[in-house]
Amino acid sequence: MTLMSKMKLITAAIVSASAVMASQAVMAYEAGDVFVRGGVAQTDTGSGNGNVGGADLNVQSARGFTYGAGYLFSDKFGVELNSSEKFEHDLNTTPGGSAGSVDRLPVNLLVNYYPMGGLDSKVQPYVGLGLNYTSFSSEPSGLSIDESYGAIGQAGVDLAVTDNVMLNGYVSYADVSADINAAGATVGEVDIEPVTIGGGITYRF
């Protein structure tokens, strides 16, 4: 299934679920609101993810649980801090085949814009830009991967179930690039640029 197909499927599922809800709840994001989110996500790393020791590197896609929290400092703008459990990515090289696996932990700090903020609506879309920090662990024996700092963007939507509970869906793109080291020397680079598609629940306090 292509990335576009996955996005369409998730969007259709969220919209369909909201359409059959008996509740007619609406909600308005307002200054001072605090929310928490939790769910699952699939991260698509694409192909051509750098190189190591002269071989092309491919980082396989992965999925895992995600979580986050946010605060609105005005009706239409807020901050969000989110992360996930460690994504375990299988590694392949060309030539060479399987090269083990690595754990990736992303932490994102974003400023979100809510175009419907301050207005009662079942649908509350948002877009955000910010900073992605990524750390790597459990690298293949003899290798270490540096930390990465880069930009991240996201677009999502909250669909009201009650005044406080919402269905959430989103897609994000991050710029993740880091050196690969062995015996104190740089032997390659990992370049992931993951596209992440996720869904779950938002709870507003």
| pLDDT tens for each residue of the chain, 205 residues long | 555 565 555 555 555 555 544 445 678 889 999 999 999 999 999 888 989 988 899 999 999 999 999 999 999 999 999 999 999 999 998 887 888 899 999 999 999 999 998 888 899 999 999 999 999 999 999 999 999 999 999 999 999 999 899 999 999 999 999 999 999 899 999 999 999 999 999 999 9
Q: Are strands 77-84 and 123-137 parallel, antiparallel or unpaired?
A: unpaired
Neighbours of 28 (CB within 10 A): 16
Domain with 45 in it: 3-204
Distances (CA, A) of 110 to 43, 55, 68: 18, 35, 11
CA distance 26 to 182: 55
Tell me the per-residue pLDDT of 4-17, one tens digit each, with 9 for 90 and over.
Answer: 565 555 555 555 55
Tell me the per-residue pLDDT of 149-165, one tens digit each, with 9 for 90 and over.
Answer: 999 999 999 999 998 99
CA distance 122 to 27: 6
pTM reported for the whole predicted model = 0.83
Which runs of E-coded beta strand occur in the chain? 34-44, 50-52, 55-59, 62-72, 77-84, 87-94, 97-113, 123-137, 144-145, 148-160, 165-174, 177-182, 185-191, 195-204
Give the count of domains, the chain. Answer: 1
Nearest residue to 6 (alpha-carbon basis) of 196, 157, 202, 200: 196
CATH label of the domain that carries residue 187: 2.40.160.20
